[in-house]
């Protein structure tokens, strides 16, 4: 079930629309060195499913290690918006916190995938190694 969402950075300079072919069923966190520090919950979208409405030229790119994954941030406010995946370069991981009306705290449980033993390094499929839970007080 595809859902469409308006999205943007904190300062509003970068705005886009994204279609999520699997809705929020792909929500997850990752344990790689970068994702551990970033802490975002992401959902999957195909490259063709994102349309920039404003500010695409205000994105800055960050790459590390193999330089395969491409992580985009707003140059003005620094918010991580999305990344092109290393394991599935035909997909983006979209930061759910950038989706209008959505918060990472809307997800009671989020699967955590093993990014340390990355599928591109091991030749094995991605594996869930835990679950991050939010238990509102």
Tokens of 38: 């970033």
| Mean pLDDT score across all residues of the chain | 93
Q: Average the pLDDT over 15-33 and give the result.
A: 95
Total domains, the chain: 1
With a threshold of 0.85, does the pTM exceed it?
yes
User: Is-contact 104 112, C-beta < 8 A?
Assistant: no
The CATH number given to whatever domain includes residue 57 is 2.170.150.70
Choose between 125 and 25: higher pLDDT.
25
Sequence-distant (6+) residues with CB within 8 A of 112 are: 28, 29, 30, 31, 128, 129, 130, 131, 132
Q: How many CA atoms lie within 13 A of 22 on its CB side?
A: 13
pLDDT of residue 123: 84
Element (H, E) at 78: none
pLDDT of residue 73: 97
Q: pLDDT tier at 15 (50, 70, 90 boundaries)?
A: very high
Q: Average the pLDDT over 24-53 and give the result.
A: 94
pLDDT tens readout for residues 46-65: 999 999 999 999 999 999 98
Q: Average the pLDDT over 62-79 and give the result.
A: 94
pLDDT tens readout for residues 78-117: 999 999 998 889 999 999 999 999 999 999 999 999 988 8
Look up the domain containing 67 and give its range: 3-133
Element (H, E) at 21: none
- Give the least confident one: 6-10, 24-28, 80-84, 86-90: 86-90
């Amino acid at each position: 079930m595809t859902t469409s969402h308006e999205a943007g950075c904190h300062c509003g300079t970068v705005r886009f629309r994204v279609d999520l072919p699997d809705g929020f069923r792909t929500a997850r966190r990752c344990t790689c060195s970068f994702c551990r520090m970033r802490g975002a919950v992401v959902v999957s979208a195909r490259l063709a499913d994102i349309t920039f409405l404003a500010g695409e030229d205000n994105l800055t790119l960050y790459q590390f290690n193999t330089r395969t994954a491409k992580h985009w941030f707003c140059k003005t406010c620094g918010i991580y918006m999305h990344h092109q995946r290393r394991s599935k370069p035909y997909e983006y991981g979209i930061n759910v916190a950038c989706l209008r009306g959505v918060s990472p705290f809307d997800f009671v449980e989020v699967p955590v995938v093993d990014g340390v033993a990355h599928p591109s390094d091991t030749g094995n499929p991605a594996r869930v190694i835990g679950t991050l839970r939010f238990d509102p007080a």
